[in-house]
Amino acid sequence: MQANNTTDSASATKKPKVLIVGGGYGGLKAALGLQRKLKTDADITLISKHDYHYQTTLLHKVAIGTLSSRKARIFYRKILNPRKVRFIKDKITKILPDENKVIGNGGEYAYDYLIIGLGFRPDSFGVKGVDKHTYKLSSLNAALKLMKNIENKFKEYTHTKNAQDLSVIVCGTGFTGIEFTAELATQLDELCLICGIDRSLPKLTCIGRSAHILPVFDEKLAQVAESKLKNLGVDIISGASIEEIKEGVVIARECKSDKKLEIKGNTIIWSAGVKGSDIIENSTLPNKKGRIPVNAQLQCEEYPNIYVVGDSAQAKNKDMIHAPTAQLSAQMGDYVAELFVAKLSGKEFERPFTFNHRGTVCSIGHTDGVGVVFKRPVKGEIAAFMKNTIENKWLFSLGGFEMVFKKGQFRYRTSN
Ligand SMILES: Cc1cc2nc3c(=O)[nH]c(=O)nc-3n(C[C@H](O)[C@H](O)[C@H](O)COP(=O)(O)OP(=O)(O)OC[C@H]3O[C@@H](n4cnc5c(N)ncnc54)[C@H](O)[C@@H]3O)c2cc1C
């Protein structure tokens, strides 16, 4: 009895170890919330595979070269206070929930509480050839690789005269696919001028399974986006299921007519969907395609000392299921930080997580877009302005006005 009491009082004075894995929208917000609000003594560590956070929502611009990677990258050392949150750059390879530790390339990390925010990876949905023959917009490095490829293909064309070098096919007509396609379409004039290519030669095709593009929006708004893209010279194929990707060819089938389609192009981008992290998928944690089912407090019920934020989380309650977005991830990060501030101070915290959906805007180049903001449809320059405001608001939440001035989106210009 005596021995137990001693152990209890010793563990009561021990600093609780809170480990956050993944420094994206969810994990970084959790770390910053704890940095700012936690008054009790705790050992807070953030581990992520790069020493910077990148704005995934801007990757389509990095991939076209309209935004420098320097601007899309925010070093953790600039926003984290090492006296409050320790940052470790490491790639996590295993999560061992039964042993309360995670393994990385650089070592083993024990925890009392774990917050998982390992984000997403592209989902091929079993379509053959996706891994081998397509580019993805899944990270800053992947976006830079795609940028180099497009540049090279356009330059090569002047020697090869191979029309396929100028044909870009985007698989997926959701947010990512449309933002990327539009960004490229608006830059084609300049790219052709630089490479000395006739502007009528490049071909840009966007192909997806849903009946209309941007299925997150209603049909009317999607139509607006579609006509804007068509005006930019983009070929849109909706209602077609992609069956296979071979080198330089996308093979698809029209859902209604069953007609087989073969679209040729030497740059193929896969943006048809995402799933959760393979580290989660390969662990003993309960998960569906790398996403961990969570309760109303974003807790993994099988391992109550594990909380999950962002694209790694899959709500158990149907009312809580929303499309995985940066906005949702950031709000989850804020929530978990609040929960831990209360928990580590010995206070009750019963409020469930609720998502405050402020709106979604899809950019169509730099001066145009469509979206829904506070339940109202927006389009054109107002939408583009709102998109920039959303990005700047995120930067403000990380580092105040200084961060907005350094990294913000101010290149707003009218289309006239
Ligand atoms: C091109 C594109 C455009 C998008 N546009 C929008 C948009 O306009 N609006 C919107 O709301 N959402 C958008 N999204 C979705 C949004 O980006 C994601 O929902 C969001 O990034 C998820 O946040 P997260 O914190 O879960 O993961 P992420 O932001 O992906 O962060 C995951 C973090 O974990 C780290 N990590 C991953 N694996 C490991 C490992 N093994 N070890 C260590 N660290 C690891 C990563 O480096 C990263 O820092 C877009 C997505 C893409 C791809």
Contact yes or no for 49/90 (Cβ under 8 A): yes
- According to DSSP, the residues that pair with 108 across neighbouring strands are 103
307 — phi, psi (to 5°)? Answer: -120, 155
Query: Is residue 397 pLDDT above 80, yes or no?
Result: yes
Query: Is residue 42 pLDDT above 50, yes or no?
Result: yes
Measured from CB, residues less than 6 Å from any atom of ligand 1 are 21-27, 47-50, 53, 56-57, 59-60, 91-92, 117-120, 137, 175-176, 277, 279, 310-312, 324-327, 329
Q: Which of 151, 179, 183, 226 is catalytic?
A: 179
- According to DSSP, the residues that pair with 206 across neighbouring strands are 170, 236
Predicted pLDDT of residue 414 = 45
Query: Is residue 317 pLDDT above 90, yes or no?
Result: no
d(CA 203, CA 168): 6
d(CA 18, CA 33): 13
Predicted pLDDT of residue 411 = 61
Predicted pLDDT of residue 410 = 77
Cα R_g (the chain), whole angstroms: 23
DSSP class of 415: -
Digit-coded pLDDT (tens) for 279-314: 999 999 999 999 999 999 999 999 999 999 999 999
Contact yes or no for 174/271 (Cβ under 8 A): yes
- Would you call 37 helix, strand, or coil by DSSP? helix
Predicted pLDDT of residue 53 = 97
- Which atom, in ligand 1's list, is nearest to the CA of 59? 1
Q: What is the DSSP string of 243-277?
A: EEEETTEEEEEETTT--EEEEE-SEEEE-S-EEE-
Q: Which helix (H) or strand (E) holds 370?
A: strand 369-373
d(CA 310, CA 323): 10
Return the best residue to mutate from 53, 120, 357 for the ligand 1 pocket (most ligand atoms within 8 A of CB).
120
- Which atom, in ligand 1's list, is nearest to the CA of 90? 43
Digit-coded pLDDT (tens) for 153-170: 999 998 999 999 999 999
Active site residue 179: yes
The residue-averaged pLDDT of 83-102 equals: 98
- According to DSSP, the residues that pair with 276 across neighbouring strands are 120
Query: Is residue 398 pLDDT above 70, yes or no?
Result: yes
Return the best residue to mutate from 57, 69, 390 for the ligand 1 pocket (most ligand atoms within 8 A of CB).
57
d(CA 187, CA 145): 18
Return the best residue to mutate from 28, 73, 118, 121 for the ligand 1 pocket (most ligand atoms within 8 A of CB).
118
Closest CA to 385 of 405, 372, 369: 369
Other beta carbons less than 10 A from residue 14's beta carbon: 11
Q: What is the DSSP string of 218-246?
A: -HHHHHHHHHHHHHTTEEEE-SEEEEEEE
Contact yes or no for 324/123 (Cβ under 8 A): no
Query: Is residue 357 pLDDT above 80, yes or no?
Result: yes
Query: Per-residue confidence at 135, pLDDT binned at 50, 70, 90?
Result: very high
Predicted pLDDT of residue 8 = 42
Contact yes or no for 306/18 (Cβ under 8 A): no
Query: Is residue 318 pLDDT above 80, yes or no?
Result: no
Residue 79 Cα to ligand 1 middle (Å): 18
- Would you call 43 helix, strand, or coil by DSSP? strand
The residue-averaged pLDDT of 330-358 equals: 96
d(CA 152, CA 408): 29
**Long-range CB contacts (within 8 A, 24+) of 193-196:** 195/154, 195/155, 195/157, 195/158, 196/158
Query: Is residue 321 pLDDT above 90, yes or no?
Result: no
42 — phi, psi (to 5°)? Answer: -150, 155
Query: Is residue 12 pLDDT above 80, yes or no?
Result: no
Residue 270 Cα to ligand 1 middle (Å): 16
Most confidently predicted of 215-219, 334-338, 353-357 = 334-338
Q: Whose CA is nearest to atom 20 of ligand 1?
A: 326
Helices (H) and strands (E) in the chain, counts: 12, 25
The residue-averaged pLDDT of 130-145 equals: 97
Query: Is residue 184 pLDDT above 80, yes or no?
Result: yes
- Which atom, in ligand 1's list, is nearest to the CA of 120? 30
Q: Whose CA is nearest to atom 27 of ligand 1?
A: 119
d(CA 36, CA 398): 11
- Which atom, in ligand 1's list, is nearest to the CA of 180? 1
